[in-house]
Amino acid sequence: MKRAALPYALVTCLAFTACASAADVPPGMHAGTLEHANYRIDIPEKWNGDLVMLMHGYQPVGAPNATPMEPADATSVFLKEGYAVAQSQFASQGWAVSDAIADNERLRQYFEKTYARPGHTYLYGFSLGGLAAAASIERYPHAYTGAMITCGLTVSTPDFLARGVVEPLAAFDALIPGVIPDLAAPASPPGISPDDIAKAMQAHPAQAALLEKRLQETPETLPPLFALYYMALRELEGRAGGMPVDNRKTDYKGYGDDTDLNRRIHRYAGSPGAMSYAQQNVTLTGHVGIPLVMQWNTFDPTIPSRFHGVYPDQVRAAGNGKWLTVLPATGNSHCDFTDADTTAAFHTLVGKAKAPGH
């Protein structure tokens, strides 16, 4: 006699510790720690059975964290739509891409085993969390129904460090020397003052104008941006064990007299171990197999528009353009989205995920 196949729901229950429907899961906020990473899970009163995993952006090392973990601003948007939201604080701060990927996946599995297996799981990442989100859907292609990335730093770490961090800092040092410390020297300070950068720019207006034009910034946005990039680089050097960028053969362009700039610019020999660390944490491939919705701000001083098309082009080059939707840019600062913007982008994602053939 042929044995009848087990119902799918029962198979799912047998595979996980928890076997509960959405109606059985208690609503409210649930917080704790997994492998040294604080987390919070928010379940609305009328949970629709679907889950949003949320990956937050860059946090400077030493920034205070509340207990329980405070929700990201977009959390309320998803809760109002009936979705549960799970988010990890990540085990470390700074360039915590490797921790973010591991901690997010650990939390996703914990949710399934402790509460219920969602009908659909979506991934949302913003800013640096966008890089971790892109890497997560590449590494765990079967874990998610779809993903949304806003104001995302979706550029492979080695490329962003070279073009987005070391190049601007080294160019500033070549054009306006005496302000930026040696980027690779162990004795260099962990941070620099935006005020010192602003004063130097005011004293050298012609050189400052070249930097602003080339880097798509303004006199107001460049000083804090240089301070942020310098701090992030020094923190990552600590993780990686040295300088992660080698610019000895790089030919820099777009800074006025490029011949003179390339003659005077500081050249750094990258540490092989640090460069390998940057490549592993993380290099994107563009290999996605689920709907992906992306959106940036019209003017983003932290992640300028010259980086916005990098990952979409990578996805298309990998032959996966059918999964990608890039929404029109909006807003005039980093991660400048209204709740209505976030809701509309998420509705687009869900619509793509539920379309025939997906």
Find the helix or strand (DSSP H, E) in which 37 lies: strand 37-43
Structure tokens at 311: 């990952």
- How far is 177 from 173, CA to CA, in rounded Å? 5
pLDDT value at 10 more than 70: no
pLDDT one-digit tens code per residue, 188-201:
999 999 999 999 99
Domain boundaries for CATH 3.40.50.1820 within the chain? 28-156+284-354
Q: What is the mean pLDDT of the chain?
A: 93
Name the architecture of domain 28-156+284-354: 3-Layer(aba) Sandwich (3.40)
Please say whether the dihedral angle defined by the alpha carbons of residues 7, 9, 14 and 15, taken in this order, is positive or negative: positive
Which pLDDT value is given to residue 17?
A: 43
**CA 157 and chain centroid, separation:** 11
pLDDT one-digit tens code per residue, 17-48:
445 667 688 899 999 999 999 999 999 999 99
Q: Is the distance from CB of 122 to CB of 349 less than 8 angstroms?
A: yes
Q: If pLDDT is split at 50, 70 and 90, which confidence band does 5 have?
A: very low
Average pLDDT over residues 170-195: 98
* Among the listed residues 344, 340, 307, the one whose alpha carbon sits nearest the alpha carbon of residue 134: 307
pLDDT value at 234 more than 80: yes
Q: Is 204 exposed, middle or buried (0-12, 13-18, 19+ CB in 10 A)?
A: middle
- Percent of the chain scoring above 90 in pLDDT: 91
pLDDT value at 2 more than 70: no
Average pLDDT over residues 310-331: 98
Which pLDDT value is given to residue 264?
A: 97
pLDDT value at 3 more than 50: no
Which pLDDT value is given to residue 55?
A: 98
Average pLDDT over residues 179-190: 97
Instruction: Check whether the bond before 68 is cis (ω within 30° of 0).
Output: yes
Which pLDDT value is given to residue 22?
A: 73
Average pLDDT over residues 46-71: 96
Average pLDDT over residues 154-158: 98
Calculate the alpha carbon distances from 105 to 86, 87, 346 in Å.
11, 10, 21
Q: If pLDDT is split at 50, 70 and 90, which confidence band does 356 have?
A: confident
Which pLDDT value is given to residue 25?
A: 85
- Percent of the chain scoring above 70 in pLDDT: 93
Which pLDDT value is given to residue 19?
A: 53
pLDDT one-digit tens code per residue, 257-270:
999 999 999 999 99
pLDDT one-digit tens code per residue, 101-142:
999 999 999 999 999 999 999 999 999 999 999 999 999 989
* Among the listed residues 131, 220, 225, 127, the one whose alpha carbon sits nearest the alpha carbon of residue 171: 225
Average pLDDT over residues 168-176: 98
Which pLDDT value is given to residue 1?
A: 34
Which pLDDT value is given to residue 12?
A: 40
Average pLDDT over residues 209-215: 97
Q: If pLDDT is split at 50, 70 and 90, which confidence band does 250 have?
A: very high
Taking every pair of Cα atoms in the chain, the longest distance, rounded to a whole number of angstroms, is: 89
